[in-house]
Structure 1
Amino acid sequence: MTTAVSYLRTSSKTNLDGDSAPRQRQAIEEYAQRNGIAVVKEFYDEAVKGADPVDARPGFQDLLDYLAGNGARVILVENVSRFSRDLIVQETGHKLLQNLGYELVPVDAPSHFTDDTPTAAMVRQILGAVAEFEKAQLVAKLRGARDRKSRALGRRVEGKHGYRVSSPELIREAKRLARKSPKTGKARSLREIAAELAQMGHTTANGQPFSASQVQRLMEAG
């Protein structure tokens, strides 16, 4: 039987005592029963706006932490708007989940994210163009900064090539901490890994612990 987790969201505190959460839960449970899916855990973001990025939501961060150490790969939501009401956030959030190997299913329209509709294609193309533009801008800024520093030092200064080159021990520790315990068979959550890395002195450039999505990328680094 396929296993999945469910994700619920209400956008304001006034919804907390209303019908929103029970309605979402019922729709997900009915879909799961019809399709032979076992919902193993529920995650709920209370009073979280639909335009908020998914990786900035506490409940969704907990969901990602759970999936990283669990066999479930499917996320069920009542409809697309429960995931996000913002089209850009929908597409970027879905892309994040795709890259992590997870499937997002709105139970009222299960093929929404797999249909190649003109709107979805347009948004993906726009996002791709924006990402390419931003990357080109960043590369140009970094190149200019290196050129200025090189002139000041009288020697060529080259840029960093990511943690894989600049901090291979960080990659090794992240992957070590992600392994399941030989005694219990359980794995640490992404947040637990980030906390332990911080205790070892491995933090972001701002001195903060890595986010769950950053830890996931560290573990996937070659």
Structure 2
Amino acid sequence: MGIETLTWDVDVISITCTVRIMNKHALPRLRLVIYLRVSTKGQVDTYGFPSQLKDCKTWNKPHNHRIVEVLREEAESGATDEEDRPELARALDMIANGDADGILFPNLDRLARELTIQEAALSVVWAHGGRAFGADQGEILPDDDSDPMRTFVRQVMGAAAQLERGLIKNRLRKGRAAKGAADGYAYGAPRYGFKAEKKALVEVPDETAGEARAKELRAQVDENGKQTSYREICRILKEENFKTKRGGEWRPSTIAKMLDPEYRAKANERDARARQAKRDDAVMRKAAKARSRFSDKDAGEK
């Protein structure tokens, strides 16, 4: 309409301006809560809080909705989407209680990674008369029986995004495994004596000196043929101002991991089992919540 408008007479231009003003006032100024989410262990795409907030504010600038709250969620990496989401629950409560008219988020992926959780959150918003907006696509309209394609397209896009994230994670996992098999280091905190630099391990002189001193002490034996205890090594290293990797206190278990490969391997296996148990527990809690929702629904129908 831009070029054609220049050819119209003054009366038409006046009418056009009047219509635009009326449309602007016809759109309600909503109270929105901005919801942002990252993982505490970092985002693969480095899309952090500042960038997310900037995108939300950029989208809102021409709409001029009132931002009543900005909520930042630091979700624990590895947890399921339903866990550790107090800020999302708070945002939904604000809408349910009438303290906000809707929610604004950078994109659906930041609302929730899993399609089922996205749909559950949106259903809560819509059930209380709220509105949902993504900075990347505008308003996400509620389901409409007369337009089933609306629901289909939204869910297919969400499923496709979830599949893409799964494929990316799988490639990263395989790449790390291959790199670890090649040179012994792929990711994570390097052991004492080393640091990660440009995706490779390099020695830390102060730490290698501390490790050498610990080995020297462990090799010493008393008149009864006993080696220096790990606890005694801790005392001597502290006394000689050797620092731990994180600057904390020396502990016997730290010395054991440093000097005893078998102990270190067992400790790593134990940590891996603990992480897996945590993931299994999260899955079971999620299943219990889903079962509870179905049970409540069945009870209501009866």
Q: TM-score, normalised by structure 2?
A: 0.36
Structure number, greater radius of gyration: 2
- Higher relative CO (Cα under 8 Å, sequence separation at least 6) belongs to 1
Q: TM-score, normalised by structure 1?
A: 0.48
